[in-house]
Structure 1
Amino acid sequence: MKAIALNNQTLNWTDHPDLPEPAADEVAIDVAWAGMNRADLMQSKGAYPPPPGASEILGLEVSGRVAAVGENVSHLEPGDEVCALLTGGGYASRVNVPSAQVLPVPAGLTLKQAAALPEVFATAWMNLYMVAGVKPEERVLVHAAASGLGTATIQLAVAMGNPVFATAGSDDKLAVCRTLGATGTWNRHNGSFAEAVKDWGGADMVLDPVGGDYIAENQKCLNVEGRIVLIGLMGGTDAKLSTVAMLRKRQRVMGSTLRAQPVSVKGEVMDALYEHVWPRLASGEIKPVIDRTWPIEEANEAMTYLASNESTGKVLLAVNP
């Protein structure tokens, strides 16, 4: 098989030892497309090592065709078109993954579109509806809302009955957010978003991949019982909390990562996506947002583009489309 090898932050598509046959509860997938995520960018810089036992190869989501199944897998068979949430190993021609993290491609979607689904929708679902426990009609503030995760989160929240306020770095990106259903928007280059969010009705939950100075601003616009879920540190590792606001408004600040969760939790998330999101994808109510694609041999160029923050939606690598 082939896979991306990382050498001094350079990505090389090269020969790699073949994987073993899938274990009893695993599925082997011949990869067609691999989704790119900021976690891959962080790992390539040495800032986000994979969990113990996970593949060192980059890549947290793929689409492709089932090549083989373990002896305990009965709901999938060779040849099925699928997409999968991974702990690593996606930038490769083949990957083994627990069957609980594999779903069929939604009806009417291509393998290319399906590669844009697992990581972002799983992250959005877990953090909104499992970690933060968002209820119908609660209001959600989404930062970096034009990213792959942001565009998925907007659509998911709106479909589940939760109004969304989106922040992003350009008016063009905010226009896309509005087309996806955001009813409030703010260009981060215009300063603090807090007053605009309060005028919109405040936030009951914030999905924050930025951290840093955003934490204090999030607190300013949180409603009573509001929750901040921190999922990234794009704005730095240091933050100031208002303990007065935490007590007066009974605010909660929670850190969350999907990658290190056990298979049982990831399986629960994927089951929820299959129930709540897959039918909406099949009907067209929710759509994958794809910005650009590169052949896997040009992964360096794709990674540079991802790091530029110019993308709106997902960046994909074509492995064997």
Structure 2
Amino acid sequence: MRVIEISGGSGPAEALIAGQRPDPVADPGQVRVRVRAAGVNRPDIFQRLGRYPAPPGASDILGLEIAGEIDQVGADVTDWKVGDRVCALLGGGGYAAFAVVDARHVLAIPNGVDFVQAAALPETVFTVFTNVFEAGALKAGETLLIHGATSGIGVTAIQMAKAAGARVIATSRGPEKTAAAKALGADISLDARSDDFATRIAEAGGVDVILDMVASDYAALNLEALKPFGRWVVIATLSGSKAEIDLAKVMMKRITLTGSTLRGRSADEKARLTRAVRDTVWPWVTAGLVRPPVEATFPLEQAALAHLRLEAGEHIGKIVLTLDQ
């Protein structure tokens, strides 16, 4: 099968090389998917750079989310059949013509959703659900602050929060991104290059939950922005992982500070999360309320160009690889 291999060097052009590998076989409890599209995510870049190795037992091929058709069903699998249109969360292996996946981590693609759009869903939807709605316990009527609101995670978080009846304050860089976040449903969209975040957020009454992909640079701002009993959830550290915060304010406001990663969770935990996403989020997807915009698509063999686009940081929404088979 066609795959993208990680070769020498750290830049995309030298590191991502088209290659061939034997077709994988679905073991008991697994399905094999003929991949039609695969999402590109920042963890793929970190893995390419050697900073985010695949967890034990996962494929060393990049790619954490796919969409396609099941073409092989392993023993003991009863919920899926050959020909089903699905998308799936992977521990790795998405940049390939075929991928095997735990059958419990698969979701049916709703009618009206194509493979490209479906491939943009699993990694972002699962990440937002577990961090905003489980760890952050966001409820209808509360306010969510999203830093990095036009990233793949950010645009999904805007749509999911609005579908749940929450208010959204979005931060991003530049007027184009600020306008895009507003168009996606953000109630207040702030420009990191010109707006006084602290004043604007205070005027809005503060926030209940923060989804933070920036970390260090916004630590002090986050502490001030949170209401009493606020929840601050860190899922990336793009400005640095070390920050100084006033723990007295954490105590006085009764703030919860937490964070998580998704890839290294156990298969059983991902299965539980898949069921929760299917029950809570998939009705929003089916109704068209959650459809993260796709900024660009690239053929599988142009994965290096996709990485360059993502690294440039000017995209709005998701970047997806496509495969003709």
TM-score (norm 1): 0.96
- 1:112-150, CA deviations, whole angstroms, 9 ceiling, x for partnerless residues? 111111110110001011112222222110011011111
CA deviations 1:73-113 (Å, max 9, x no partner) are 11111111110011111011111111111111112111111
Partner of 1:11: 16
Match in the other structure for 2:154: 150
Letter in 2 for 1:308: A
Instruction: Determine the structure 1 residue equivalent to 2:323.
Output: 319
- Structure 1 segment 70-219 matched on structure 2, within 5 A: 70-190=74-194, 193-219=197-223
Secondary structure at the residue paired with 1:226?
strand
Distance in 1 separating the partners of 2:30 and 2:101: 5
Please say if 1:277 is aligned against 2:281.
Answer: yes
Question: What CA distance in whole angstroms lies between the structure 1 residues aligned with 2:36 and 2:59?
Answer: 18
Q: Do the aligned residues in 2 keep the contact of 1:167 with 1:174 (CA within 8 Å)?
A: yes
Match of 1:225 among 229, 242, 261: 229
User: Which stretch shifts more, 134-143 or 303-312?
Assistant: 134-143
Please give the per-residue CA displacement for 1:52-83, whole angstroms capped at 9, x wherever unaligned. 22111110000011011121211111111110
Q: Following the alignment from structure 1 to structure 2, what is the Cα–Cα distance between the partners of residues 79 and 156?
A: 29
Shift of 1:191: 6.0
Contact 1:195–1:221 under 8 Å retained in 2:
no
* Residue 311 of structure 2, aligned match among 307, 317, 321: 307
Task: Tell me the SS of whatever aligns to 2:223.
Answer: helix
In terms of mean alpha carbon deviation, does 6-15 or 77-86 score higher?
6-15
Take 1:85 and 1:283, find their aligned partners in 2: how far apart are those partners? 21
Structure 1 residues not aligned, in runs of 5+: none
What are the equivalent positions in structure 2 for 1:282-293 lying under 5 Å apart?
Answer: 282-293=286-297
The AA in structure 2 aligned to 1:143 is: H
Say if 1:192 and 1:217, in contact at 8 Å, map to a contact too.
no
* 2:265 corresponds to: 261
Q: Secondary structure at the match of 1:67?
A: strand
**Structure 2 stretches lacking a partner, 5+ long:** none
Output the CA distance in 2 between the equivalents of 1:47 and 1:124: 23
Does 2:80 correspond to 1:38?
no
Q: Is the 8 A contact 1:213 1:240 kept in 2?
A: no
Distance in 2 (CA, whole Å) between partners of 1:270 and 1:202 is 32
Q: Distance in 1 between matches of 2:230 and 2:249?
A: 10
Residues 65 and 123 of structure 2 are in contact (CA less than 8 Å); yes or no, is this contact kept in structure 1? yes
Classify the secondary structure of the residue corresponding to 2:117.
helix
- The answer to whether the 8 A contact 2:131-2:259 is kept is no
Deviates more, 1:145-154 or 1:210-219: 210-219
- Residue 35 of structure 2 aligns with an amino acid whose one-letter code is V
Counterpart CA distance in 1 for 2:169 and 2:208 is 11
> What is the RMSD of the two structures over their aligned residues, measured on CA atoms?
1.3
Distance 1:194 1:53 in 2: 45
TM-score, length of structure 2 as denominator length: 0.95
Partners of 2:288 and 2:242 lie apart in 1 by 41
Tell me the number of residue pairs that the alignment of Structure 1 and Structure 2 aligns.
320
Q: Does 1:239 align with 2:243?
A: yes
- Aligned equivalents of 2:61, 2:205: Cα separation in 1: 44
Which residue does 1:24 correspond to in 2? 28
Query: What residue number does 2:58 align with?
Result: 54
Structure 2 SS opposite 1:304: helix
The SS at the match of 2:210 is: strand
Runs (4+) of structure 1 exceeding 4 A deviation are none
Specify the alignment match of 1:2 in structure 2: 2
* Structure 1 residue 179, shift from structure 2 partner: 1.6
Q: Which amino acid aligns with 2:281?
A: V
Q: Is the 8 A contact 1:83 1:102 kept in 2?
A: yes
Report what 1:67 is aligned to.
Answer: 71
